[in-house]
Amino acid sequence: MKLDNAFMEFDVIGIDPSLINAFRRILISEVPTMAIEKVYISSNTSPLQDEILAHRLGLVPLKANARLFQRRLEGDSEGTDRDTLHFQLKIKCIKNVHVRYGHYRPEDLYINYEVFSSNIRWIPIGEQKNLYKESDIGPVYDDIMVAKLRPGLEIDVRMEAVKGIGRDHAKFSPVGTASYRLHPYINLLKDIEGEQADLLQSCFSPGVIGITHTDKAYVINARDDSCSRNIYLHEELNDKVVIGKLKDHYICK
């Protein structure tokens, strides 16, 4: 199993394909998250139309534990500190008066010419300041591009994030992609040595086939095989290697 802040990989063994696909669909559409639902625009002189700007902001993934929040009641237009997060994006592009002669790059000529998700600020309401740390709330990534500005252009918007699931809207989906594949297997029926060992190694992805100090090929890690089937291009290897997939072993990521 592999797990970090942005990626997870795990194995499931001994179940029917319909069940593993059900797990995949649950990950996509049934796991609740927080996402920006409403955008109140005070000023938007950027090249983006109001609707496009609101759409882009809604797709910014938020770092907030949805289990700590309730779903907003239908028809509730205000929200509370238990079901709503408030954010603000207020930024204006100006000329850099300290730029030296000969500089022509926008990042040198202008200040705030690029608007990133890091410019989105969390505005605590009610008891939220006591319940959550500032590091626990906000965009998951700070480098998501929202818009580009030129001197005099500005964006001033207020946003409300609520709890939802991917079945309601794709912006609530907690995963970018969720997929699975069958675990590959590679069996060497005969000893493969010398030049044929090098040839066999070149037929697979890096890290799949290794070569001993005696120039003999062996399988290191079959799960990294990309199933290219390049060995079938070489007749001298066809009767020495069997490749396939385990029918009840799934690699999910």
Residues 96 and 216 both lie in one domain: no
At 5 the pLDDT is 76
Last residue of a domain, one of 135, 165, 195: 165
Which positions of the chain have pLDDT values less than 50? none
HEC readout, the chain? CEECCCCEEEEEECCCHHHHHHHHHHHHHCCCEEEEEEEEEEEECCCCCHHHHHHHHHCCCEECCHHHCCCCCCCCCCCCCCCCEEEEEEEECEECCCCCCCCCCHHHHEECCEEEHHHCEEECCCCHHHHCCHHHCEECCCCCEEEECCCCCEEEEEEEEEEECCCCCHHHCCCCCCCEEEEEEEEECCCCECHHHHHHHHCCCCCCEEECCCCEEEECCHHHCCCCCHHHHCHHHHCCEEEEEEEEEEEEC
Give the CATH number of the domain where residue 55 resides: 2.170.120.12
At 151 the pLDDT is 93
pLDDT digits (tens, 9 = 90+) for 100-154: 787 778 878 889 999 999 999 999 998 898 888 888 899 999 999 999 999 999 9
Write out the residue range of the structural domain in which residue 188 sits.
184-246
Residue 16 lies in a domain: no
Residues 132 and 200 both lie in one domain: no
At 173 the pLDDT is 92
Give the CATH number of the domain where residue 189 resides: 3.30.1360.10
Residues 59 and 157 both lie in one domain: yes
Residue 79 lies in a domain: yes
